[in-house]
Amino acid sequence: MRKLLTTTALIALALAGATAGARAADVKEVQMLHWWTSGGEAAALNVLKQDLAKEGYAWKDVPVAGGGGDAAMTALKAMVAAGNYPTASQMLGYTVLDYAQAGVMGDLTETAKKEGWDKAVPEALQKFSVYNGKWVAVPVNVHSVNWLWINKAVMDKIGGKQPKTFDDLIALLDKAKAAGVTPLALGGQNWQEATMFDSIVMSTGGPEFYKKAMNDLDEDSLKSDTMKKSFDNLAKIVKYVDPNFSGRDWNLATAMVIKGDALVQVMGDWAKGEFVAAKKKPGTDYLCYRFPGTEGSVIYNSDMFGMFNVPADRKSAQVALATATLSKSFQSAFNVVKGSVPARTDVPDTAFDECGKMGMANLKAANADGKLVGSLAQGYGAPPAIANAYKDVVSKFVHGQIKTSDEAVQQLVQAIDDAK
């Protein structure tokens, strides 16, 4: 992959303005801003590049490193401010709605009607891809964050078994520690820490509590003893990370599990894309379990391609990108590589491995049972300002800047209130 552009370089590119825009308009080209820069992510994105190449569309990559997407969104903000809109940008739920409200998104409704997207895409995703009755984004996948990824050889070595409760998980981590293996692979970045805390909150309080606290922002739930216990459990689990975790990228934490340097990672199913890229097999090389206490529930997020209001001579490329993204063939091929599950409910699971089949079945069941809830850490629980406040408080607690669970609860309530 070409050398990554820094945010500064992207801003310079954006401010170049109309000249760059005119050049892009002269060619049959898709310009895509994204943060898919790890091995597994790049391999998944290549599926789409190849599909579009078959239709004669060139691909202009604008990759911005950073697993949480914050740097990419800073770059996008600069491009939009300069009027230099990309064909599309990788985005998360509430960010799509923010740009739609600002009036800079395109309209794919005609294509959506022709392709029958409203029947194939779950309502939970349409909430973020449709604005005022118009399709402004296409969901690429459905990820869920409440997963454990475990190195099977290490698991066998320590005589471990699937943890069914949070206490079981702590006992398993103790076994790994006693065997001289790093128990928990974690990157000390606020979005990673908050993503893990999503699972801990649901494990501690259940799906209804999670929804009230993390989606509805119910103050009584946020102030509750259950939330305090969630922070207590977070304090317990972070004792099992290695001393060098601060600032580590998520895919490097996944690599620790792949190599057997660590037993387990708590991470969304994009981690599975790294196992796929490393040619590892579920059940043989690694194990995938739901975070104990969250079985039957799915804490979801979805990568979406937000489609901007580009000039008329660039719309055909945009329609081709949208159509290819929501085609059944792409939804299967891409998500097999990415580790996620399709954003369409009518895609067969034939090509998916056992973890993928489990993810698809879990999504269907959780959607039917009312246990499909948006990840606050991943931009589907509440608007970005609130999600950022949440990530900040969780990270400060993990790194010792907030000392007690009581203080963490107080600061979380205050931070969310300030961000509203």
* 10 φ/ψ angles, rounded to the nearest 5 degrees: -65, -40
**What's the rounded Cα separation, in Å, for the pair 328 and 91?**
21
Q: Is it the case that residue 229 has pLDDT exceeding 90?
A: yes
For range 286-291, the mean pLDDT? 98
Q: Beta strands 286-290 and 147-151: pairing type?
A: antiparallel
Fold of the domain built from segment(s) 144-300+367-419:
D-Maltodextrin-Binding Protein; domain 2 (3.40.190)
Binning pLDDT at 50, 70 and 90, where does residue 367 land? confident
**What's the rounded Cα separation, in Å, for the pair 60 and 315?**
15
Q: Is it the case that residue 17 has pLDDT exceeding 50?
A: no
Binning pLDDT at 50, 70 and 90, where does residue 160 land? very high
Domain ranges of the chain: 7-143+301-358, 144-300+367-419
Residue-wise over 341-357: b if at least 16 C-beta within 10 A, else e? bbbbbebebeebbebbe
* SS3 category, 6: coil
Q: Is it the case that residue 136 has pLDDT exceeding 50?
A: yes
**Chosen CATH of 7-143+301-358 out of 3.40.190.10, 3.40.50.1260, 3.40.50.150, 3.30.70.100:** 3.40.190.10
pTM for the whole thing? 0.87
Which is higher by pLDDT, 241 or 27? 241
Nearest to 184 by CA among 312, 79, 31, 291: 291
What pLDDT score does 375 carry? Answer: 97
Residue type, 392: D
What pLDDT score does 317 carry? Answer: 94
Q: Is it the case that residue 288 has pLDDT exceeding 90?
A: yes
**What's the rounded Cα separation, in Å, for the pair 261 and 255?**
8
Q: Beta strands 29-34 and 58-63: pairing type?
A: parallel
pLDDT tens column, 28-77: 999 999 999 888 888 989 999 999 999 999 999 887 877 668 889 999 99
Mean pLDDT of all residues belonging to the chain = 92
Fold matches, 7-143+301-358 and 144-300+367-419: yes
**What's the rounded Cα separation, in Å, for the pair 350 and 24?**
39
What pLDDT score does 376 carry? Answer: 97
For range 366-383, the mean pLDDT? 93
pLDDT tens column, 304-363: 999 999 999 999 999 999 999 999 999 999 999 999 999 998 999 999 999 999 999 999
